[in-house]
Amino acid sequence: MDREIWTTVRMTVKRVCRRYRAPRKLTYSRELILLMYLWAVWQDGCLSWACDKRIIIWSVTPLNVAEQSVIMEMARHLVATPGQLALLLADGNYDSAPLHKSLALRNHCLLTPLKAQHRVKNGQHHPVTLRQMGPERREAVDVWTNHPDLAKFVLKERNRIEGRFSVMSVALNAAAPPCWVRRLHRVRRWAGGKVILHNARLTVQEKLAQLELQHPHVN
């Protein structure tokens, strides 16, 4: 039954899209975009399912290395679309004024839960503190002060990366290195191998999904 329904939807979308001339240099066709949206509606999911889930930048460091130092190094590899500001989500451990400033230089803004808010009297930062933290972190403070519900809603998207690691742990047995993987250089190679396998697995899944959209099997 489901296959018959989806076949009907796919053929209808294809017929409707033929009426419109596609602009030049279109990255994704109208047909594919509409099918992805309808699939998300059917599955009660979100369109972010269709986003690239590959792990592009990753790092393995000892526990005594501060997380802010790690992300400062990784920030060199971040690429944002010229003229557009990209949003980077992280947990409260990454909330630091220098990191906000460093990411801003690369057209990225950082949104995290604010650290040490229990020390802020009556929820109001001292003017000197606000001046010292810099404009980038002041923007984050302003968001949490005036739009806390929106900030919490946006941060829920971080669950996607947690889900990605869960998939790797289950599907690729990447929860913990085996006994023969010891010392940092071996752990890094092992983790890199898991990332490669994870990305390859996604590529295969995407190809199969495309084939299903184009040539659905009818029972």
Q: Which residue matches tokens 């990225």?
A: 108
pLDDT for the residue numbered 16: 82
Number of C-beta neighbours around residue 12 at 10 A = 12
Average pLDDT per block of 10 residues along the chain, 219 residues long: 69 80 64 74 58 77 86 80 78 88 86 79 71 83 86 85 82 85 89 88 81 64
CA dist., res. 125 & res. 90, Å (int)? 22
CA dist., res. 187 & res. 78, Å (int)? 24
Cβ-proximal residues to 140 (8 Å cutoff; 6+ apart), any chain? 95, 100, 109, 110, 111, 112, 114
Dihedral (CA of 199, 203, 205, 206) sign: positive
pLDDT for the residue numbered 45: 55
pLDDT for the residue numbered 54: 77
Cβ-proximal residues to 163 (8 Å cutoff; 6+ apart), any chain? none
pLDDT for the residue numbered 103: 87
Burial degree of 219 (CB within 10 A; 0-12, 13-18, 19+): exposed
pLDDT for the residue numbered 24: 61
